[in-house]
Amino acid sequence: MTLVKPIITIDDLTFSPPTKWTVNHGQIAYNWKWDDDKSMPYQISELCNVDIKELLKLDIEDLREVWAAVFSTYPVTETNYNFDWNLDMNWGKWVDLEVLTSKGVTNNFKAICDTLLGLDTFNYPLSSGHKLVTDWITYRSNVYKSYSVLFGIDENSSTDHESDIAPEKIWYAATVALSGDRFHILDYITQRSVNECLNWLSYQKDKSLEEERKTKAMNKKLNK
């Protein structure tokens, strides 16, 4: 990878940020606590290919100076990407993205980009990756609001509701329900649109709630 001219030299150590920030660089930055003194040497080591042992010898003020210089080149302007939220999003991607998101967006920044675009985004422009993930969060939030009854939330609820059940199990169960317990068509289900699948699940939930209401009403009459 081509590097720019050294931006700073301290104690005979030279630091150069990447010429082109990629999704992989973003993931490296996110792997550590942002703007944290203990994380700084590790971020700098991975981003600038400097021996961590040498970095740990620097005093905190020097580290902060290097960190600030390195991240001064970090892209802040988001650019467009090649993904159509209506055409390219399917149930399989939704399920995979839900699982990744539930485990932390920053922890899985690159994996979310990989899943959305269907490719290895190691060298994908970071500015595009940032916008892609930001738009995913917005898209996801809008879906939850549109299907608030299905998800059991109201307008004040967070989309990151906690559950004792692992998200993988929740979404696999939903996918199996969509298939009518027919294992051989699971791949077919994963290619269906998100709205199509959520509409069917919403219908089934509404039908179940209505049957439950009727049963309770009948039991109430019988107990009079």
125-170 pLDDT, tens digit each: 999 999 999 999 999 999 999 999 999 887 666 666 556 678 899 9
| Mean pLDDT of the chain, nearest integer | 88
Residues 22 and 65 in one domain: yes
Q: Which residues of 139-159 are buried (b: 16+ CB within 10 A; e: fewer)?
A: bbeebbeebeebbeeeeeeeb
Boundaries of domain holding 217: 84-224
Residues of the chain with pLDDT > 70: what percent? 92
Residues 42 and 120 in one domain: no
In a domain, 14, yes or no: yes
Mean pLDDT over 100-108 rounds to 95
Residues 109 and 217 in one domain: yes
Could you say which of 23, 48, 71 is where a domain stops?
71
Residues 162 and 139 in one domain: yes
Residue among 141, 131, 59, 50 at smallest CA distance from 98? 141
pLDDT of residue 210 exceeding 90: no
User: DSSP letters of 14-43?
Assistant: EE--BSS-BHHHHHHHHTS-TT-TTTHHHH
In a domain, 3, yes or no: no
What is the pLDDT at residue 25? 95
Residues 30 and 60 in one domain: yes
d(CA 130, CA 116): 12
d(CA 31, CA 199): 37
pLDDT of residue 79 exceeding 90: no
What is the pLDDT at residue 164? 64
Residues 211 and 106 in one domain: yes
Residues 139 and 183 in one domain: yes
In a domain, 1, yes or no: no
* Better-scored residue on pLDDT, 35 or 104: 104
Residue among 69, 2, 14, 18 at smallest CA distance from 40? 69
In a domain, 78, yes or no: no
In a domain, 79, yes or no: no
When pLDDT is cut at 50, 70 and 90, the band that residue 122 belongs to is: very high
In a domain, 76, yes or no: no
In a domain, 116, yes or no: yes
Could you say which of 71, 95, 124 is where a domain stops?
71
- The dihedrals phi and psi of 40, each to the nearest 5 degrees, come to -50, -50
Residues 25 and 93 in one domain: no
What is the pLDDT at residue 159? 62
Residues 59 and 90 in one domain: no
What separation, in Å, do the N-terminal and C-terminal C-alpha atoms of the chain show?
80
Residues 123 and 12 in one domain: no
Could you say which of 44, 71, 98 is where a domain stops?
71
Residues 91 and 28 in one domain: no
Range name among 3-17, 29-43, 159-173, 209-223 with the lowest pLDDT average: 3-17
In the block, tokens 């961590």 appear at 52
Residues 117/119/120/124 CA torsion (nearest 10 deg): -50
Residues 112 and 223 in one domain: yes
The total of structural domains in the chain comes to: 2
In a domain, 137, yes or no: yes
* Better-scored residue on pLDDT, 200 or 209: 200
